Structure formats: structure tokens, C-alpha cells
Amino acid sequence: MNLPKVISDLVKAQNDFDSKAYTACFSETAVVVDEGKTHNGRKEIEHWIDDANKQYKAVMNPVGFEEKENETLLKAEVSGDFPGSPIVLTYHLQITDELIQYLKITG
């Protein structure tokens, strides 16, 4: 699967549990929506992903990718320490200047 560099970097950072590298994939003003909560800016995103890594130890295996007019969709099988693992999640992304501006994760 031919993924944009920022998405490949995001997947690698997630699978390495590297919160700093994960956060570096986002713009300073990025927004992440996950599990009904919104995280604004790199500082909040880093705190969120660090907590999620410790709690769930989730790894991603991309299984689908689609670029639409205003968003990019990544489907990934995610497995880790959570009920229902593994599960296929959809990552709704908006990317500008090779950085993620917006990410919403849905089941």
C-alpha cells in the first residue's frame, strides 16, 4: 500500500509507541477526536497518545487507504490491550503541507 509519508510515519510511530514521533506528524494547531474527546494542539495530542500507548499498547496494520476531495481515509486493523481486539478503525485525516491538521478515529 502506497501511503503518504506523514501517514507512514504516523503508523511507524504508533507501532514503536513513540509519542514524540507520533506528535511530530501533526501541525501545531491540529485537532484529534477519539473516544468522544477532542485534543487541541501538539501538547494535548502528545499527552493523549502517551496515555493511550500506556493503556492500550495498540499497534496498527493498514488495510485500506483512500484519498477523497477534503479528507484522507486510512483503515487499519488495530490490536492491543482492549476489549474487542483486534478491530478495524477508520482514521479520517485532513493533511496540509505534509502535516496532519485533523484526525478523527471511528470504529
Spell out the long-range contacts of 16-23 with Cβ–Cβ below 8 A and sequence spacing 24 or more.
17/53, 17/57, 19/46, 19/49, 19/50, 19/53, 20/46, 22/46, 22/49, 23/49
Return d(Cα 7, Cα 26) in angstroms, integer: 10
32: Cα within 13 Å, side-chain hemisphere: 23
Percent of residues, the chain, with pLDDT higher than 70: 100
Mean pLDDT value of segment 88-95: 98
Return the C-alpha torsion angle 94, 87, 9, 23, nearest 10: 70
User: pLDDT by residue (tens digit) across 96-105?
Assistant: 999 999 999 9
Name the residue range of residue 100's domain. Answer: 5-106
One-letter identity of residue 69: E
Please write the tens of the pLDDT for every residue from 58-85. Answer: 999 999 999 998 899 999 999 999 999 9
pTM for the structure as a whole: 0.94
When pLDDT is cut at 50, 70 and 90, the band that residue 1 belongs to is confident
Domain count, the chain: 1
Quote the mean pLDDT of the chain.
97
Mean pLDDT, range 26-32, rounded to an integer: 98
pLDDT at 97: 95
CATH number at residue 34: 3.10.450.50
